[in-house]
Homo-oligomer: A and B are copies of this chain.
């Protein structure tokens, strides 16, 4: 790779070729620096570096470096089971905090579990089962200290709507349950594999904008479904008063983070409503026969359900699809919530490890009569504000649910279904974040478009298709930016070596005989034709302007390549062709500050050679100084 034809410098034979131009018209005299190639690497080294950046950006094994083997073993066990990390330091003071927060989230978890299970068209008891086993598993495997684990509204309603299209629970409850547990198994498998294969970045493609729209659309669907139930009992008006009460309470999701002292209102409201409404129905039971109640719930612990997982039959595709969609949605919520609270307390959660924890928790859940669970936003917020210190609060919650399952189930006999519908509606209405949508509109119109697409797609088409469309719009946004990149004409800020946009900085001045263009995107197949046309149009317009203003003729085009962070073969061909076209018009093309990989590729494809000695500079300033000095020397 012997480089000598140009001012490109090979890092391995490091000899700077500084040249001082004789004269200088624009700025004080300056040295001219060489453009270096990046250090030489073999294809294998490059591949290794690239793969480690793709799959191990956080360098997860850095703790293991320079350690003895027994220390390494302990670190490995701690890596696999975070409980070994914080367990030894655990003390009574922390435990007291965890007991309080654990009991608080249990009071939220019991009514939520029953309601969300109904949202997924599952028997209410499955919701309680799902608040028992998964939190225990998470407390062993999970790395977040504040995540409150249990069923969540989005995954529940998606499961209900997707499975409901294939099978009706009322007609074939056994098949429906089988499908729900199978879907949960696949959700867990998918989540654990994403973590194991370190493909966690896939969930990044569900952008926040997409999720805002998706949640609002899903909330509207669910509310409409549940309203049917509510409207069926309008004659029983006394109960309707709970709705405004609770809607004001539940809508404080965000406020519960801002005003920690009020958190107990949102935490206690559901259980209070359930207790009150159950008491009222119990007292009125002889008079109001029309009220639909939960009825008998079986006592006892989670029964095993591994025999209900079915991996064949005509509904396998539905189960897999539901598993994938609920899996990715619950993963997104769980990871986002974990990260949010970790950032508040300034510790790190490892995304890929969290995925494995959530995945194994769901696989175990699918064998113990649980449906899809994850880190829930509302539970975690309550948990955090109640002073949770570690995953032990999840153990406490699970114990409270255990007691409920073993002894308290008969108490729920008279709980009216309408209160569950109300809990569901208030919970999902809180998902409609119109302020976030408004902010999207204000700051980024294309983000707002993705948000609207997912809202209307979910509302009018279907959950997976709506999501797919929204992800498509988000990806389209990236592609649009690459396909139609910005090009900026730059000028010199007098007295400095700074070159900035002429349009943006009024003090920036055109440099006569030069046209300095910054290309603000990688040069790829998708934009090379556009960029060529656009650059030629810049030149045409510049020449028209020069003619109209009797300025000195254009002689040199400088492309500032700082923001051209990558180039492919089409891009290289474009640069090459552009140079030829400009040469025919007696215009010189100069590249300034190409980044490492671009310099390397231009060098490999022998394009740099054709640029000659005065075709490549480290900065725009040096290019202008050196070339104008040359022109003075040979007029």
A positions within 8 Å CB-CB of B: 11, 14, 16, 30-31, 33, 36-39, 43, 47, 53-54, 57-59, 62, 201, 204-205, 207-209, 339, 343, 346, 348, 351, 439-440, 442-447, 474-475, 477-486, 488, 493, 495-498, 500-501, 503-507, 520-522, 524-530, 533-534, 536-537, 540, 562-563, 565-566, 568-570, 572-573, 577, 580-581, 584-585, 595-597, 601, 604-605, 618-619
22 residue pairs A–B, Cβ–Cβ below 8 Å: A57-B484, A57-B533, A201-B484, A201-B530, A204-B529, A207-B524, A207-B570, A208-B569, A343-B580, A343-B581, A346-B581, A348-B536, A351-B529, A440-B569, A443-B569, A444-B601, A478-B479, A485-B565, A501-B596, A504-B596, A520-B595, A562-B562
Q: Which residues of B contact A570 (CB under 8 A)?
A: 207-209
Closest to A209 in B: B569
Q: Which residues of B contact A348 (CB under 8 A)?
A: 536
Is there an interface contact between B619 and A498, defined as CB atoms closer than 8 Å?
Answer: yes
Is there an interface contact between A204 and B569, defined as CB atoms closer than 8 Å?
Answer: no
Please measure, in the bound complex, the distance between the C-alpha atom of A504 and the C-alpha atom of B595, giving whole angstroms. 10
Q: Which residues of B contact A501 (CB under 8 A)?
A: 38, 596
Is there an interface contact between A568 and B204, defined as CB atoms closer than 8 Å?
Answer: no
Assess A525 versus B205: contact at CB under 8 Å? Given A14-B506, A443-B572, A475-B479.
Answer: yes
Closest to A58 in B: B533
Assess A39 versus B534: contact at CB under 8 Å? Given A201-B526, A442-B604, A569-B209.
Answer: no
Q: Which residues of B contact A62 (CB under 8 A)?
A: 540
Query: What's the minimum C-beta distance from A397 to chain B, rounded to whole angstroms?
Result: 28
Is there an interface contact between B566 and A204, defined as CB atoms closer than 8 Å?
Answer: no
Please measure, in the bound complex, the distance between the C-alpha atom of A555 and the C-alpha atom of B14, giving whole angstroms. 32
Is there an interface contact between B443 and A346, defined as CB atoms closer than 8 Å?
Answer: no
Query: What's the minimum C-beta distance from A295 to chain B, rounded to whole angstroms?
Result: 45
Query: What's the minimum C-beta distance from A457 to chain B, rounded to whole angstroms?
Result: 17
Query: What's the minimum C-beta distance from A210 to chain B, rounded to whole angstroms?
Result: 8
Is there an interface contact between B444 and A569, defined as CB atoms closer than 8 Å?
Answer: yes
Given known contacts A30-B496, A54-B484, A58-B534, what 5 new A-B pairs fall within 8 Å (CB)? A37-B504, A57-B537, A209-B568, A500-B618, A563-B595
Q: Which residues of B contact A36 (CB under 8 A)?
A: 504-506
- Which residue among A526, A536, A562 has the maximum number of chain B CB atoms within 10 Å of its CB? A526
Query: What's the minimum C-beta distance from A525 to chain B, rounded to whole angstroms?
Result: 3
Query: What's the minimum C-beta distance from A228 to chain B, rounded to whole angstroms?
Result: 35
Taking a contact as CB atoms closer than 8 A, the residue among B30, B445, B478, B500 that contacts A482 in the complex is: B478
Assess A504 versus B565: contact at CB under 8 Å? Given A534-B57, A577-B343.
Answer: no
Closest to A335 in B: B529
Stoichiometry (number of copies): 2
Query: What's the minimum C-beta distance from A621 to chain B, rounded to whole angstroms?
Result: 9
Is there an interface contact between A447 and B526, defined as CB atoms closer than 8 Å?
Answer: no
Taking a contact as CB atoms closer than 8 A, the residue among B59, B207, B442, B503 that contacts A525 in the complex is: B207
Query: What's the minimum C-beta distance from A197 to chain B, rounded to whole angstroms?
Result: 15
Q: Which residues of B contact A477 (CB under 8 A)?
A: 524, 568
Query: What's the minimum C-beta distance from A478 to chain B, rounded to whole angstroms?
Result: 5
Q: Which residues of B contact A536 (CB under 8 A)?
A: 348
Is there an interface contact between B522 and A481, defined as CB atoms closer than 8 Å?
Answer: yes
Is there an interface contact between A568 and B447, defined as CB atoms closer than 8 Å?
Answer: yes
Q: Which residues of B contact A573 (CB under 8 A)?
A: 208
Query: What's the minimum C-beta distance from A35 to chain B, rounded to whole angstroms?
Result: 9
Is there an interface contact between B568 and A346, defined as CB atoms closer than 8 Å?
Answer: no
Please measure, in the bound complex, the distance between the C-alpha atom of A351 and the C-alpha atom of B528, giving whole angstroms. 13
Closest to A59 in B: B537
Q: Which residues of B contact A30 (CB under 8 A)?
A: 496
Please measure, in the bound complex, the distance between the C-alpha atom of A569 and the C-alpha atom of B448, giving whole angstroms. 10
Q: Which residues of B contact A506 (CB under 8 A)?
A: 11, 14, 36
Query: What's the minimum C-beta distance from A343 to chain B, rounded to whole angstroms?
Result: 6
Closest to A618 in B: B498
Please measure, in the bound complex, the distance between the C-alpha atom of A506 and the C-alpha atom of B15, giving whole angstroms. 10
Is there an interface contact between B526 and A443, defined as CB atoms closer than 8 Å?
Answer: no
Q: Which residues of B contact A209 (CB under 8 A)?
A: 525, 568-570
Q: Which residues of B contact A528 (CB under 8 A)?
A: 204
Taking a contact as CB atoms closer than 8 A, the residue among B488, B524, B584, B596 that contacts A346 in the complex is: B584
Is there an interface contact between B604 and A443, defined as CB atoms closer than 8 Å?
Answer: yes
Q: Which residues of B contact A439 (CB under 8 A)?
A: 569, 605
Taking a contact as CB atoms closer than 8 A, the residue among B204, B522, B562, B596 that contacts A526 in the complex is: B204
Is there an interface contact between B566 and A563, defined as CB atoms closer than 8 Å?
Answer: no
Please measure, in the bound complex, the distance between the C-alpha atom of A346 and the C-alpha atom of B346, giving whole angstroms. 61
Taking a contact as CB atoms closer than 8 A, the residue among B54, B530, B596 that contacts A480 in the complex is: B54
Query: What's the minimum C-beta distance from A24 to chain B, rounded to whole angstroms?
Result: 15
Please measure, in the bound complex, the distance between the C-alpha atom of A521 and the C-alpha atom of B500, giving whole angstroms. 19
Please measure, in the bound complex, the distance between the C-alpha atom of A606 and the C-alpha atom of B225, giving whole angstroms. 39
Q: Which residues of B contact A497 (CB under 8 A)?
A: 497
Please measure, in the bound complex, the distance between the C-alpha atom of A477 and the C-alpha atom of B400, giving whole angstroms. 50
Closest to A571 in B: B444
Closest to A207 in B: B525
Please measure, in the bound complex, the distance between the C-alpha atom of A43 and the C-alpha atom of B446, giving whole angstroms. 12
Query: What's the minimum C-beta distance from A564 to chain B, rounded to whole angstroms?
Result: 8
Please measure, in the bound complex, the distance between the C-alpha atom of A505 and the C-alpha atom of B11, giving whole angstroms. 8
Is there an interface contact between A39 and B447, defined as CB atoms closer than 8 Å?
Answer: no
Please measure, in the bound complex, the distance between the C-alpha atom of A201 and the C-alpha atom of B527, giving whole angstroms. 8
8 closest Cβ pairs, A-B complex: A207-B525, A520-B565, A563-B563, A443-B605, A38-B504, A58-B533, A346-B584, A447-B569
Q: Which residues of B contact A480 (CB under 8 A)?
A: 54
Assess A504 versus B33: contact at CB under 8 Å? Given A57-B484, A208-B570.
Answer: no
Q: Which residues of B contact A522 (CB under 8 A)?
A: 478, 481
Please measure, in the bound complex, the distance between the C-alpha atom of A55 and the C-alpha atom of B48, giving whole angstroms. 40
- Which residue among A339, A477, A478, A585 has the maximum number of chain B CB atoms within 10 Å of its CB? A478
